[in-house]
Amino acid sequence: MARRVRVMVVEDSPVVQSLLRLIIGADPRLEVCAICASGEAALEALPQLRPDVISMDIRLPGMDGLETTRLIMSRFPTPIVVIADAVEDRSLQISMNALRSGALSVVEKPAGFGHADHAPIAETIRTQLYIMSQVPVIRQRPMAPRPVTRAARRPGGQRAQPSIAGIVASTGGPAALARVLGGLPADFPIPVLVVQHMGAAFMPGFAAWLDGIVPMTVQIAMAGQSPMPGHVYVAPGDQHLTIGPEGALRLDRDAPVHSQRPSGSVLFTSLARICGPRALGVLLTGMGEDGAEGLLAMRRSGAMTLTEDESSAVVYGMPAAAMRIGASTIALPLDRIADALRRAVAETTP
């Protein structure tokens, strides 16, 4: 029988401690190896225990979950799943900053056993702890960027002037999006549509967090909006985001694609169909294969398509899937993607 994944729970509430112990214990793949009531206690125990994954509370006595995450990632890099209250603004801000500091995922705190949402939240916690325990958080040797081919060109030899961009990310995405969008100016001349895989309850807080740290205006996408330059539109939780023939944003609850709703492939496919060579597609860090097929449709339509290089991706799954099927025009480390987007929109056609 395979060794169980060892979970360290960092949580100060005795009630939530008990809930998490029972929730985690119900999964034969997982076991609780320690419960620490403070960040300081977790840091002291880590060198001896070396858990496979950490369940991290945000509001802790003394050192909060954000500072604890920063210190863990600098001293004892370990996969961290943030367990947060989805409705309290301060907790949300700290949770998003913890993701920026190296935590891999954020999920809601468990509800009591009699609560209607207990079962789905408990299952999400178990699934995230198991999946994130498999993520190697220690960086491998940096690799050189790998240009794949020349950028897509129109028959006359000039690439079409982009009018819209789509960016898709999953595990590790909040920090990656903050870096890419943070490198674009407030007057970036085209709108940007974003799909980030995250629980629906966190999406408004995620968009508000991004809006506070990047130059462009960030908001949750609304059906019927006409996307404007200098604005970022984030897909709301549990809804696909697409662009319609009239140029307005569309939202729907069609079936998940690659187990995701919103799906990056759904967004990219709509950009390929409606905008063709005048779109830009960017696929960042994430598990699985979402986005790859849609990015291939964009490339075939003449669009420029970028993937994050393995040297900087927290999880190389989604960009790797795009590379395997030839969907990527070029692969770049995270810190070079914003510059590539600025150059792409600065180029003019004759």
pLDDT at 143: 44
When mean pLDDT is compared across 84-93, 104-113, 204-213, 326-335, the lowest value belongs to 84-93
Distances (CA, A) of 337 to 47, 187, 331, 344: 36, 17, 9, 11
Burial 249-288 (b: 16+ CB within 10 A, else e): bbbeeeeebbebbbbbbbbbbbbbebbbbbbbbbbbbbbb
pLDDT at 217: 98
- 244 pLDDT higher than 50: yes
Exposed/middle/buried for residue 350 (C-beta within 10 Å: 0-12, 13-18, 19+): exposed
pLDDT band at 114 (very low <50, low <70, confident <90, very high): confident
Q: In what order do the strands lie in the sheet with 30-36?
A: 30-36, 5-10, 53-57, 80-84, 105-108
Kindly state the average pLDDT of the residues 227-253: 96
| Longest Cα–Cα distance in the chain | 68
108 contact partners, CB below 8 Å, separation of at least 6: 83, 84, 85, 86, 121, 124, 199, 201
pLDDT at 157: 47
Portions of the chain given CATH number 3.40.50.2300: 5-133
pLDDT at 95: 86
pLDDT band at 189 (very low <50, low <70, confident <90, very high): very high
Kindly state the average pLDDT of the residues 135-140: 61
Supply the mean pLDDT for the chain: 90
Q: Pick the residue with more confidence: 205 or 38?
A: 38
pLDDT at 160: 79
pLDDT band at 2 (very low <50, low <70, confident <90, very high): confident
pLDDT at 151: 41
CATH number for the region 164-346 comes to 3.40.50.180
Exposed/middle/buried for residue 161 (C-beta within 10 Å: 0-12, 13-18, 19+): middle
Q: What digits encode the pLDDT tens for the residues 149-173? A: 444 444 444 567 899 999 999 999 9
pLDDT at 86: 59
Closest CA to 286 of 322, 314, 267: 314
Kindly state the average pLDDT of the residues 79-96: 79
pLDDT at 158: 56
pLDDT at 1: 58
Q: pTM here? A: 0.87
Distance CA 308, CA 320 (A): 9
Q: Pick the residue with more confidence: 198 or 348?
A: 198
Portions of the chain given CATH number 3.40.50.180: 164-346
Kindly state the average pLDDT of the residues 132-138: 80
pLDDT at 87: 56
What is the set of active-site residues?
170, 197, 290
pLDDT band at 89 (very low <50, low <70, confident <90, very high): low
CATH of 5-133, one of 3.30.70.1900, 3.30.70.660, 3.40.50.300, 3.40.50.2300: 3.40.50.2300
pLDDT at 152: 42
Q: Pick the residue with more confidence: 208 or 155?
A: 208
